[in-house]
Homo-oligomer: A and B are copies of this chain.
Amino acid sequence: MDATRQKLIETAGQLFSRDGFESTTVREICQHAGTNVASIHYHFGDKERLYIEAVKHAHCHQPPSPQPWAEGATPPQKLAAIIHQMMTVMLDAETPSWHTELMMRELARPTSACEALVREFIDPLFAQLLCVVTELLPPSVPLVERQGLAFSVVAQCLLYRYHRPIGRLLVGENHFQQLTTIEESARRITEFSLGGLQSVATREGAVASKPGESS
């Protein structure tokens, strides 16, 4: 049946994200899913095929959704919106976190699923970000430099998802909690990034669009 198949994918995704591919046993999955040991091989052929289905399912349910912003928004407002959305994804506790967990594992050791993941999920967001960064800089700034600066923005967001253990250990549980509220972190990263971009813009050409003025 299809219900069994879905249940299996759902359960497998959670367990794979929690324990990794090797440490998750098919018995454990079937037990949690309330199915028979043989059901996985019946529906998917083998464990690896089930894993792939789970990964696919994970980023199906976490749509890229490039933020549509209000008409007439200034570039800094756009940047703030993008960063806010990123931090929402990174920190939102509502998100069944195993989706991101599973994707992170994929990124840590990329398989064939990784590229598809980037193309479908990350590329659109990055393209949007690159647009806004471009708007905030004089045209004289070369593409590769703009990409590097966009990385600087993205990097700050990723840290809060992908380097949690370090962060927690460095500043203590208490401070880390304060740093990882969506609003606060989005505000801080936005301010920092706008400052950084303005600095580049100022150096590059004083005649440029003066992005900092509107912040």
Contact = CB atoms under 8 A, between A and B. Distances in A.
Given A155-B155, A199-B191, A200-B192, A162 B165 contact: no
Contact of A195 (B109, B110, B200): B200
A8 to B, nearest CB: 20
Interface residues of A, number: 57
Contacts of A179: 144, 147-148, 151
A192 B147 contact: no
Contacts of A156: 151-152, 155-156
Given A154-B159, A192-B197, A199-B212, A104 B115 contact: no
B195 A199 contact: yes
Contacts of A145: 188
B175 A126 contact: no
Interface of A is mostly: helix
Which of A126, A175, A199 has the most chain B CB atoms inside 10 A of its CB? Answer: A199
Contacts of A154: 159
Contacts of A131: none
Contacts of A212: 199
A193 interface: yes
5 contacts: A22-B22, A155-B156, A155-B163, A162-B163, A192-B193
Interface of A: 20, 22-23, 104-105, 107-110, 114-115, 118-119, 122-123, 126, 143-145, 147-149, 151-152, 154-156, 158-160, 162-163, 165-167, 169-171, 175, 178-179, 184-185, 188-189, 191-200, 203, 212
